[in-house]
Amino acid sequence: MTGFIQMMRKRKELIPLVGLVAFAGIGAASASMYFLFTKSDVILNKTKNPEPWERVDPSKPQKLITINQKWKPVEELELVRKLTK
């Protein structure tokens, strides 16, 4: 660790590059954790729940940003779902 700090003191032009790479890494990790823990269509264990799309609440938007989207059930699909269960 001290070698890294000494290198950064010698080569100051690398500081913005290291900062941007660190910022991108932290952003990617936090976005992954956000989607993993808040979105119902992201799963880790498929053996416990092989059909996770059955639990998705259609009235709750699944996108990060949803603009003017309304959900209405399709009667034919609801009929098929009731007949197959």
Quick: pLDDT tens for 12-52: 999 999 999 999 999 999 999 998 888 776 777 767 777 77
Q: Which residues contact 40 (CB under 8 A, 6 or more apart)?
A: 52, 55, 56, 57, 60, 62
Cα(70)–Cα(58) distance, rounded to whole angstroms? 10
With contact defined as beta carbons under 8 Å apart, do 8 and 14 qualify?
yes
Confidence band, pLDDT 50/70/90 cuts, at residue 76: confident
pLDDT for residue 18: 93
Domain region containing 29: 2-84
What are the tokens at 81? 């779902």
**Residue 9 predicted with pLDDT over 80:** yes
| Total-model pTM | 0.54
Number of compact structural domains in the chain: 1
Q: The dihedral of CA 51, 52, 58, 59: what is its sign?
A: positive
Task: Calculate Rg over the CA atoms of the chain.
Answer: 23
With contact defined as beta carbons under 8 Å apart, do 63 and 42 qualify?
no
